[in-house]
Amino acid sequence: MMKKLALVGVAALMIGACTPREERAAAGGAIGAGAGALIGGLATGTGGGALAGAAIGGVAGAVIGAETTPRRRCWVNRYGERVCRVYR
């Protein structure tokens, strides 16, 4: 029980120090890997299929998670005010 709690704490600290883009990539990768493992395992009935599905799903989820992060562009206008725009 204590090892699991320590592992969750370390994972939270690692994700807590990331940018929003990196957090979304990590979350997307984790969700994609889980879904890919489930689909690959059910489709092939083997551990190798689950492993391949997890790898493909993890990469796809990380790419999609990173690319769906809203991008902000900020600058200082001529009056000294900071202006930010969000782009998709």
- List pLDDT tens digits, range 29-58: 989 999 999 999 999 999 899 999 999 999
Residues above pLDDT 90, as percent of the chain: 48
* Per-residue pLDDT at 14: 65
Query: Residue 68 in 3-state DSSP?
Result: coil
Q: Is the pTM of this model over 0.85?
A: no
pLDDT tier for residue 18 given thresholds of 50, 70 and 90: confident
* Per-residue pLDDT at 16: 66
Split into its structural domains, the chain has a count of 1
Query: Is 30 exposed, middle or buried (CB count within 10 Å of its CB: 0-12, 13-18, 19+)?
Result: middle
* Per-residue pLDDT at 81: 92
Range of the domain at 18: 1-87
Contact 38, 56 (CB under 8 A): no
Write down how long the chain is.
88
